[in-house]
Amino acid sequence: MRFLIPDRFSVLRVLGEDSNSRTFVATDHVLGRSDILVKILRKRSFNSYEIEQFCWFAGVRHKNLSVVFDTGVTLKGDFYYVREYLPTSELFSSDTLSTVKALVSAVDFLRSHCRVHGGIKPSNIFLNGASLKLTDASFARESEKSEEDIRFSAPELLKNESRTLESDLYSLGAVLYRLVTRRNLFEDINLANLKTKHIWASPLPIGNLGGIPRTISDAIFELLSKDPQSRVRAFDKLKDRLAPEPVAADRAPFIGRDSLLTETLAKVRETRNKGPYVLLVEGPPGIGKSRFIEELRTRSSLAGLLFVKSSCDMHCAELDAVRQLLAGLHADLDDSSRSKASAHNFGGIVLESSFSSDKAKRNSLIEQLITDLQAACGYFGQ
């Protein structure tokens, strides 16, 4: 089954596709950006842990984590997110010791907040100059594993156990082993045999390869222990020897209003088929209204709800927020639905200006826009 791509995106090139997801670089006509990456995940139900996990990574801002700009749901119910596009990584052609220190610092930040990344592997690590970023934390269990997944997953994950902080440490060790030695832990053209080796066999010691101190290479090797608790001790040892400087987040994840968020989302679900409903979010400047709306949008998307956002301030044109909403709805349509909307003349609603020096004409335009908006909302709600 093919993935439905919302019309808001103009695909520039496809980076990968399997039965569960599709990843591509695109221009986003809603965000007005041409440098974004989109990942669409096949429709499914996300449990509370997976939702909370994704929302944390989407909400936090840190120099070593990629930025998630937006989330949404296609007309087929597939969830997607939009993040910054990062150019081809220089991971394996970089200064080894500096890269080891940057990766350890990034993982240490996640561990300090008890966050499991679940996808630490070369394709999710981007290093350009002095900037290193981890991308695409895995917040849902994959039904099938690629060769790269096998090479950089802890043995317990290959036996279908859950991801943990300790399994992240093994993945870190596997990446650092590859970085230092320029070779993989194991080799086999048969993926079933490769998986078996990763579960039961021991890799060759690092020794003096890579031009880094033996004390550091030994600690990296110990991260590959089959015993998860031994990895914790190895990571602490590695941190002591590298002494990376801790890096604070630029923006904290959404915290402190979980009950209000749960109550609001429940109300949205309850009223979705009962006609128009207004929820007023108010409070003094700086209290977190915008962050609340942002979090509500992400969680609505994960729940399979279409959430379109607009905004206005004292400098906005009259009814500009309405136009933004309609433009957002229109951008999420596929070609077939867009043609039907155009046939109903909903596509042109956002183009009409409500300003006029003639007061009667101006009021008439506003009344017509409101009527068209009501009709459009009924159409889009079907």
- The answer to the question of residue 262 being in a domain is no
User: Which of 277, 237, 283 lies closest to 260 in space, CA to CA?
Assistant: 283
- The answer to the question of residue 271 being in a domain is no
- The answer to the question of residue 281 being in a domain is no
Full residue range of the structural domain in which residue 130 is found: 94-242
150 and 206 fall within a common domain: yes
Backbone angles phi, psi at 227, to 5 degrees: -90, 115
Per-residue pLDDT of the chain (382 residues; tens, 9 = 90+): 678 888 889 999 999 888 888 999 999 988 889 889 999 988 777 888 888 889 999 999 999 999 999 988 888 888 899 999 998 888 888 888 889 999 999 999 999 999 999 999 999 999 987 789 999 998 777 767 899 999 999 999 999 999 999 999 999 999 999 999 999 999 999 999 999 999 999 999 998 777 789 999 999 999 999 999 999 999 999 999 999 888 899 998 888 888 888 898 888 888 777 666 777 888 898 888 888 988 888 888 888 777 777 777 666 665 666 666 666 666 655 555 555 555 555 444 443 444 445 556 656 666 666 666 666 666 555 5
What's the total number of domains in the chain? 3
321 and 338 fall within a common domain: yes
- The answer to the question of residue 277 being in a domain is no
**Single-letter code of the amino acid located at 195:** K
What residue spans of 45-85 are helical by DSSP H?
48-59
> Could you tell me if 80 and 71 are in contact, meaning their C-beta atoms sit under 8 angstroms apart?
yes
C-alpha to C-alpha distances, 187 to 96, 191, 226, nearest whole angstrom:
23, 9, 18
217 and 125 fall within a common domain: yes
Domain closes at, from 242, 265, 281: 242
121 and 229 fall within a common domain: yes
Residue-level pLDDT at 208: 76
Residue-level pLDDT at 347: 46
How much helix, strand and coil, in percent to the nearest 5, is found in the chain? 45, 15, 40
321 and 191 fall within a common domain: no
CA distance 378 to 356: 28
Looking at the DSSP assignment, which residues form a beta bridge with residue 33? 28
Three-state SS at 88? coil
190 and 231 fall within a common domain: yes
Residue-level pLDDT at 256: 81
160 and 229 fall within a common domain: yes
Residue-level pLDDT at 257: 84
46 and 112 fall within a common domain: no
Looking at the DSSP assignment, which residues form a beta bridge with residue 79? 41, 73
CA distance 335 to 109: 43
181 and 314 fall within a common domain: no
169 and 294 fall within a common domain: no
- The answer to the question of residue 155 being in a domain is yes
- The answer to the question of residue 58 being in a domain is no
Neighbours of 109 (CB within 10 A): 21
Three-state SS at 318? coil
217 and 200 fall within a common domain: yes
185 and 234 fall within a common domain: yes
Residue-level pLDDT at 74: 85
Burial 69-82 (b: 16+ CB within 10 A, else e): bbbbbbeeebbbbb
Neighbours of 17 (CB within 10 A): 13
Residue-level pLDDT at 201: 96
User: Which of 224, 148, 147 lies closest to 181 in space, CA to CA?
Assistant: 224
CATH number of the domain enclosing 4 = 3.30.200.20
CATH number of the domain enclosing 146 = 1.10.510.10
Residue-level pLDDT at 319: 61
- The answer to the question of residue 140 being in a domain is yes
- The answer to the question of residue 278 being in a domain is no
Residue-level pLDDT at 39: 94
